[in-house]
Structures are given as C-alpha cells and as structure tokens.
C-alpha cells in the first residue's frame, strides 16, 4: 500500500476512519494542533522534520472542506490530492485552490461542475463511508415504532430544496408515526434509526451522503431521491432501496408501510452488503485509483512547483469565509502590507472589509468597503457591502444614498467586460448562511464554466440586495416588488413584502406572497401565522382551516421544530387522538358487490383491499345487487379469502355500499352507509 499524509483531521476522525492504515504505518495524519500540526509559521522542511523516523509519504491528501490550509503547504514536493465535499457551499473557495491541487476527489455531480468550470484533474470519490461501529447488527429487541424518520440539516437557506419535501411527508402524520428532527447525534441518532421502518433521505446536491450508509446499517428501508446519481451506482432500486420522485412518493411510502414483509426484505438486502459501504472500503478504492494516476500527478506537481508560489490573498479571504477549523492569523497583516504598496487596489480593499466584517469590526469594514468603492466605482459588491454596513451602523440616510448610488451604477455598466472580474471574484460580506450568501454561491456553481451567465445572475442578486435593503429601511413595498422582479425565488423577500401589505390592509395581495414563503420555508412559523391572519382578514375560514390542518400535521411530525400555537392547537389534539385510534384494528363487515364489473364494485374492491392490508379483520358480505351487468372478474386471493367468512367477534363497523341500498340497521357495531348519487 502507498504511504500518504492525511489531514487536517481530528484524532477522533482518524481513529474512526483511518485506524487500519495508521496502524499499518501507511498513513500519518496531521491537524491544526497536536503532535503533527500544520502551523501557520511552518514551511515544508520544518513540517516534514516532525514525521515519524524513517517515514516519507508518496502523496498528501488534503481535507479542503471547512479547513484553513496554510499557504506553505502548496509548496509540498509530493503530489497533493484535494478532497472537496460540500462544493455547493464552498464553490468560490474551491475555484481558487483547485489549481494548487494535483488531483481532486469529489462526488459525481461535483465532477461535472468542476469539469464545466475547466477543472479537468478531478474524479469521482465516495467520501461518506461508515465507520466500523456501524457494522454490528442493529438491536433486535428494539421495536420499530417510527414509521417514517428524517434526521438531518433543516437550515432554511442551506437546505431550501429539502424543506418542502419534509413538509410533504409530515402530512402523513395523521396516519403514520412520522418523526422529523435536526441536531440529533451519537447514540440518540443510532437509536432513532434502529426504531425506524423507513428513513427518508434527500441529498443536497445528488451525492451519496452519510445518511445512506447509516440507514442501511440500521436495517431501516432507505427512501432516496430518484435523481441521485451517486446512490444509483451502489444500490438497486426496489431491491436494496427505494428511489422516489415527485409523482410517487406518498404511494411508495404507503405501499411499503402496508407491506412489512416486503419492506423488511428490501432493507435486509441492503444490510447484508454493509461491509461494502465502509469508509475503509471506499477509501481503498480511491487509493488504487490514485496509484494509477502517478504519471499525471507527477507532471502536475512539477507544474505547480514551477508556477505560483502558493495561494493568493483573495483565495485566503474566501477560505476564511468557509473555514470552521484553523485560523489564518497572518491574513489581515498580509492584506495591509499589500495595500501599503497598492492602496488603490479595490479588490484587496474589499477583501479587507470582508475580513473585518466577519471579525465583527463593523466600523473598519465600512471604511474598507468605502475605500474600495471609491477606488473603483465599478466594484459594485464593495459598494453594496458599504450600504449594508451603514445600515448596521445605524446610518440609514447614508445607507439609502449609497444603495441608490449602486443601483445607478448597476444600470450604467451594461458592458459585461466592465464588471466581470470585479464581480465574479468578490465575496459577499456574509459569514452566516444567509439568503444572500447562498444565492451568491448558487450563482457560481449553477453557471460553472459560463462567466456571462454567472455575471448576469450576480448582477440580478446585487439588484435584489439593494432594493431589499431600501425596502426594509424605507418601508416602501415598491422596492420589494423590484427585488422580486430580479430574483423571484427569494421567499424571505416575499414574506417581507407580504407583512407590509397586511399592515396596509391589502391581505388579498399578501396571501399569494405568504403562500410562497410558507411553502419554501415550512419551518418558519411567523410566515404561517401571518398567512392565517391574512386569510382571516379575507373571511376565508376554509383556507384558515386547511392551513391549520397543515401546520398541526407538521407539528405532530416535528414538535421540536414547529412550536404549538393556539390557532392550530385544537386540531393537533384531535389529530393525536385520531392517530391513537388509527393504531386500533377493527372487525369490519362490508356489504356490497365485489366481483361484478361495475363502478360500485371497483370502489369496494379497492377500499377493502387497503383495509385488509392495514391489518383490519374484514368479512365481505357480497350480495347480488341486481345491477344490469352479468360480467364478473376474478378476485385476488386477498379478497376471495374474505368472502362471507365469520369474524372472530361481533363487527365493530358495518359498511354498506351497494345498489339498491339496504335500510335495515345492523344488530351490532357502527353503521356506515355510503350512498351513490347520480
């Protein structure tokens, strides 16, 4: 096996996923601290001097995601393999560091994005295998009392594509035990999976994420989006997991929840292959592939060492925006040193402003943004960042003037080449995952390799950004209309506009915008509450009731995410009682045709089949109704076995659906009479 460096990673990560290669002395790991730390003031020589005695690596594996990579590492005299997960959240940063890596491993959709962007030294690598602890069998004594489970990230802006799907499965909570949670880890997480019959998964970018293999290991049935290319390469639809789409999700869920034997069979088919889905197995495949690339890696390494002397300052700024591990304490001093030599460099001034903004030094950030915009008024990201900083400093009048200045400049710079480098290379001053930051990243990766489309999208985002700012500061809803004209997919802006429309007594106009906001952000309670109020203002009692039902089911599935509110609390209590009743099994006598070929019989067959599949004890009291149709069809064994059988006790319910109707009440149980009307 090859010898390689791997990091930066924590000791716990190393113990979970790399214990075998470390024990065999094939792998040495490093981190930002500890015995083998990649210190900011190191160089390759000092770093390598701390390797184990007599040990030298053949290549270096860099965990790029969310890590600060010291600039000197790019001078490593061995090939560098970059691991690039979560590219949808770090695309700008990855664009900066891609050429410093001699090869990149990412998921299958990511390979397509990188190649479209002109980054060809990239290949598919599954980086989400499970650790050995998941190989042990799930506990058999645990009852699978959760019908449908989702545990994962429910961030309103990071997971904007996932949330409407979660709201959709939550609507099944009136019939099934649905559990939607976030922030559950460790043993609690494993216990939830072990209690679940079906685990719903929806990846963020079409990757095989960790939930796939953890679900398989737990013995639950995996439901995965049909368009997921990565998962399709390792699991067979209908044999080892279920791939769903927009047209069949509920039907598939109901089928597998009613067919426990089949559900368990598919889940166990996947569980038997859990050894194929460990990180060690996946990583072994990547190591074999890396070895076949040796000539190409050596050639790219020589190009890297003969070219740039490391990263660039703006690449390090982008790195600071995404980094959760490690610090680049020298970056501010390096930016100031560069600006001392070139004070009119708008790009570096803006980078310094972002760094100050992320460090919560709003005064200094505003000064740097102002200088950047003064140096080059075409740097509209700096201009917009200055306007936003002024709002944060409470200088609303100056902020409005600045926002209008940016909008005027935006309308005057029609030539794409006037703005391209300044706009495409500039970060927005957001450290949190806000709608602005997410839209900025999406504009880049959705238009990978198409600079013109990326620029046009980012121009629209700046237009939305400044009009949204003006709308919030002035209260003038016309600015929100302008913002939505540029970026109609922004649910928060729909919500802000709607709130102002409701206050102006224009509830009818507000309802459409609030529906968009509540659909896109179902776990944001205030939009739903405002929609309920607006519907009440319009006298739409039925609309209020439907919304309350929707929210009560969402609360039932996700009580930790949706707080109980008075306007749907009564429905929630009723739904809880209904769910308790739905777990009961009833003795049912069904009166009506089954085998004749007419519409009443078709309805009878379908409803009775479903009742039997759900475990109810059913007898089919078929009587010739006398309808003019002598043709019949053979009944399935499910139904034919129940014709005129005796129940184990008095019927709880008699259901009559026939023509002509029979008016005689049954001797026992409830009487349900379904009367066709033509």
Give a yes or no: residue 503 inside a domain.
no
Which residues is 222 bridged to in the sheet? 199
Nearest partner of 351 among 298, 328, 415, judged by Cα? 328
- Exposed / middle / buried, residue 337 (Cβ in 10 Å: 0-12, 13-18, 19+): exposed
Domain C-terminal end among 433, 465, 489: 489
What does the block give as tokens for 220? 């639950």
The pLDDT of residue 577 is: 53
Bond prior to 660 in cis (omega within 30° of 0) = yes
pLDDT surpasses 60 at 118: yes
Widest CA span of the chain, in angstroms?
99
Question: CB-based contacts of 523: which residues, under 8 Å, 6+ apart?
Answer: 154, 156, 163, 166, 167, 554, 558, 561, 562
pLDDT average, residue stretch 496-523: 96
pLDDT surpasses 90 at 49: yes
Give a yes or no: residue 560 inside a domain.
no
In the predicted model, what is the mean pLDDT of the chain? 92
584 or 79: whose pLDDT is higher? 79
**Angle, helix 491-503 to helix 477-486, in steps of 10 degrees:** 160
Phi and psi (nearest 5°) for 643?
-70, 120
65 contacts 13 by C-beta, under 8 angstroms: no
Q: Dihedral angle at the C-alpha atoms of 429, 432, 437, 442, nearest 10 degrees?
A: 140
Cβ-based neighbour number of residue 330 at 10 Å: 14
123 and 137 in a single domain? The answer is no
Nearest partner of 223 among 171, 148, 162, 138, judged by Cα? 148
What does the block give as tokens for 669? 């149980």
Give a yes or no: residue 432 inside a domain.
yes
The pLDDT of residue 252 is: 96
User: What's the pLDDT tens digit per position in 235-275?
Assistant: 999 999 999 999 999 999 999 999 999 999 999 999 999 99
Give a yes or no: residue 555 inside a domain.
no
Q: Lowest-confidence range among 102-111, 302-311, 611-620, 633-642?
A: 302-311
384 and 453 in a single domain? The answer is yes
* Count of structural domains, the chain: 4
Confidence of residue 366 (pLDDT cuts 50, 70, 90): very high
The pLDDT of residue 140 is: 78
The pLDDT of residue 416 is: 45
pLDDT surpasses 60 at 285: yes
Give a yes or no: residue 15 inside a domain.
yes
Task: Determine the straight-line distance between the first and last CA of the chain, rounded to whole angstroms.
Answer: 78
Whole-number Å distance between alpha carbons of 580 and 660 = 35
pLDDT average, residue stretch 117-122: 97
pLDDT surpasses 50 at 372: yes
What does the block give as tokens for 243? 């791939």
Domain C-terminal end among 430, 464, 489: 489
Residue 655 Cα distances to 259, 578, 580, 607, 624, angstroms: 24, 20, 22, 11, 16
Whole-number Å distance between alpha carbons of 119 and 82 = 13
**Angle, helix 87-97 to helix 435-445, in steps of 10 degrees:** 60
Whole-number Å distance between alpha carbons of 304 and 325 = 25
Question: How many helices and strands (H and E) does the chain possess?
Answer: 30, 15
250 and 115 in a single domain? The answer is no
Pairing label, strands 587-591, 617-621: parallel
494 or 419: whose pLDDT is higher? 494
Cβ-based neighbour number of residue 220 at 10 Å: 27
Q: How many residues does the chain have?
A: 678
pLDDT average, residue stretch 263-288: 96
pLDDT average, residue stretch 170-198: 95
Phi and psi (nearest 5°) for 589?
-105, 120
Cβ-based neighbour number of residue 444 at 10 Å: 19
Q: Lowest-confidence range among 76-80, 86-90, 286-290, 573-577?
A: 573-577
Q: What is the DSSP string of 262-287?
A: HHHHHHHHHHTTGGGGBHHHHHHHHH
- Which domain range does residue 421 map to? 346-489
Residue 448 Cα distances to 428, 451, 452, angstroms: 18, 8, 10
Whole-number Å distance between alpha carbons of 381 and 677 = 66
Cβ-based neighbour number of residue 392 at 10 Å: 14
120 and 159 in a single domain? The answer is no
pLDDT average, residue stretch 405-429: 79
What does the block give as tokens for 203? 């990846």
What does the block give as tokens for 44? 């390759």
- Exposed / middle / buried, residue 589 (Cβ in 10 Å: 0-12, 13-18, 19+): buried
Confidence of residue 425 (pLDDT cuts 50, 70, 90): confident
269 and 395 in a single domain? The answer is no
173 and 44 in a single domain? The answer is no
pLDDT surpasses 90 at 418: no
The pLDDT of residue 526 is: 94
180 and 121 in a single domain? The answer is no
Give a yes or no: residue 602 inside a domain.
yes
Bond prior to 8 in cis (omega within 30° of 0) = yes
The pLDDT of residue 663 is: 81
Q: Dihedral angle at the C-alpha atoms of 309, 314, 316, 319, nearest 10 degrees?
A: -140
160 and 289 in a single domain? The answer is no
DSSP H or E run through 242: strand 242-244
pLDDT surpasses 90 at 415: no
pLDDT surpasses 50 at 84: yes
pLDDT average, residue stretch 542-557: 94
pLDDT average, residue stretch 422-441: 94
Alpha-carbon Rg for the chain in angstroms: 31
Whole-number Å distance between alpha carbons of 172 and 417 = 52
Domain C-terminal end among 437, 454, 489: 489
Q: What CATH code is carried by the domain that includes residue 194?
A: 3.40.50.2000
User: What's the pLDDT tens digit per position in 457-501?
Assistant: 999 999 999 999 999 999 999 999 999 999 999 999 999 999 999
User: What's the pLDDT tens digit per position in 557-609?
Assistant: 999 999 888 888 876 555 555 555 556 789 999 999 998 888 888 899 999 99
Name the percent of the chain lying above pLDDT 70.
95
128 contacts 210 by C-beta, under 8 angstroms: yes
pLDDT average, residue stretch 533-546: 93
How many Cα atoms occupy the beta-carbon half-sphere of 260 within 13 Å? Answer: 8
- Name the pTM for this structure: 0.84
pLDDT average, residue stretch 159-178: 96
Q: What is the DSSP string of 43-54?
A: -HHHHHTTSPTT
Whole-number Å distance between alpha carbons of 286 and 288 = 5
Give a yes or no: residue 330 inside a domain.
no
219 contacts 194 by C-beta, under 8 angstroms: yes
Cβ-based neighbour number of residue 97 at 10 Å: 23
22 and 102 in a single domain? The answer is yes
Pairing label, strands 196-200, 178-181: unpaired
Give a yes or no: residue 334 inside a domain.
no
351 and 485 in a single domain? The answer is yes
Q: What CATH code is carried by the domain that includes residue 28?
A: 3.40.50
156 and 120 in a single domain? The answer is no
368 contacts 352 by C-beta, under 8 angstroms: yes
228 and 300 in a single domain? The answer is no
Phi and psi (nearest 5°) for 132?
-60, -25
The pLDDT of residue 256 is: 96
């Amino acid at each position: 096996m090859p010898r390689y460096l791997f990091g930066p990673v924590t000791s716990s990560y190393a113990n979970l996923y790399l214990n075998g290669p470390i024990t065999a002395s094939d792998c040495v790991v490093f981190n930002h601290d500890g015995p083998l730390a990649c210190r900011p003031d190191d160089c390759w020589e000092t770093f390598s001097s701390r390797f184990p005695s007599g040990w030298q690596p053949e290549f270096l594996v860099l965990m790029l995601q969310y890590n600060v990579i010291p600039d000197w590492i790019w001078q490593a005299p061995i090939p560098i393999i970059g691991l690039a997960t979560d590219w949808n959240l770090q695309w700008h940063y990855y664009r900066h560091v891609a050429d410093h890596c001699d090869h990149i491993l990412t998921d299958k959709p990511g390979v397509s994005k990188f190649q479209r962007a002109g980054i060809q030294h990239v290949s598919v690598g599954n980086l989400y295998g499970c650790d050995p602890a998941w190989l042990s069998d799930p506990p058999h004594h645990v009852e699978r009392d959760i019908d449908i489970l989702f545990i994962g990230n429910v961030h309103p802006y990071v997971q904007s594509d996932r949330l409407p799907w979660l709201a959709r499965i939550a609507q099944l909570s009136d019939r099934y035990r649905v559990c939607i949670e976030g922030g559950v880890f460790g043993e609690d997480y494993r216990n939830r999976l072990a209690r679940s019959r079906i685990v719903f998964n929806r990846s963020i970018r079409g990757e095989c994420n960790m939930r796939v293999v953890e679900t398989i290991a737990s013995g639950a049935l995996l439901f995965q989006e049909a368009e997921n290319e990565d998962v399709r390469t390792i699991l067979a639809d209908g044999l080892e997991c279920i791939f769903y789409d927009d047209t069949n999700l509920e039907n598939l869920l109901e089928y597998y929840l009613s067919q426990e034997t089949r559900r368990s069979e598919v889940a166990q088919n996947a569980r038997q292959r859990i050894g194929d889905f460990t990180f060690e197995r996946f990583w072994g495949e990547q190591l074999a592939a890396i070895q076949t690339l040796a000539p190409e890696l050596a050639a790219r390494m020589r190009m890297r060492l003969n070219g740039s002397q490391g990263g660039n300052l703006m690449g390090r700024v982008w790195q600071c925006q995404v980094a959760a591990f490690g610090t680049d304490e020298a970056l501010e001093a390096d930016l100031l040193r560069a600006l001392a030599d070139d004070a009119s460099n708008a790009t570096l001034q803006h980078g310094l402003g972002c760094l100050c903004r992320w460090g919560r030094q709003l005064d200094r950030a505003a000064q740097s943004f102002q200088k950047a915009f003064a140096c080059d008024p075409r740097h509209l990201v700096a201009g917009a960042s200055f306007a936003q900083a002024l709002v944060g400093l409470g200088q609303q009048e100056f902020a409005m003037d600045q926002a209008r200045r940016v909008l005027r400049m935006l309308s005057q710079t029609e030539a794409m080449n006037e703005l391209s480098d300044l706009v495409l290379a500039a970060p927005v001053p957001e450290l949190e995952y806000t709608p602005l930051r997410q839209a900025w990243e999406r504009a880049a990766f959705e238009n990978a390799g198409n600079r013109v489309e990326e620029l046009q999208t980012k121009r629209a985002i700046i237009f939305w950004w400044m009009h949204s700012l003006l709308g919030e500061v002035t209260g003038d809803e016309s600015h929100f209309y302008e913002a939505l004209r540029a970026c109609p997919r922004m649910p928060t802006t729909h919500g802000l506009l709607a709130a102002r429309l409701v206050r102006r007594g224009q509830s009818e106009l507000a309802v459409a915008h609030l529906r968009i906001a509540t659909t896109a952000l179902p776990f944001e309670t205030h939009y739903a509450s405002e929609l309920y109020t607006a519907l009440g203002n319009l006298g739409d009692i039925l609309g209020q009731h439907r919304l309350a039902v929707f929210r009560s089911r969402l609360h039932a599935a996700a009580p930790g995410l949706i707080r109980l509110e008075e306007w749907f609390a009564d429905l929630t209590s009723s739904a809880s009682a209904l769910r308790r009743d739905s777990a009961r099994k009833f003795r049912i006598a069904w009166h009506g045709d089954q085998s004749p070929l007419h519409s009443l019989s078709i309805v009878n067959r379908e409803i009775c089949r479903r009742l039997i599949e759900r475990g109810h004890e059913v007898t089919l009291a078929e009587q010739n109704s006398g309808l003019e149709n002598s043709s019949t069809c053979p009944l399935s064994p499910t139904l034919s076995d129940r014709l005129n059988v005796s129940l184990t006790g008095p019927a709880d319910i008699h259901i009559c659906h026939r023509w002509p109707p029979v008016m005689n009440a049954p001797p026992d149980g409830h009487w349900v009479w379904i009367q066709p009307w033509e």
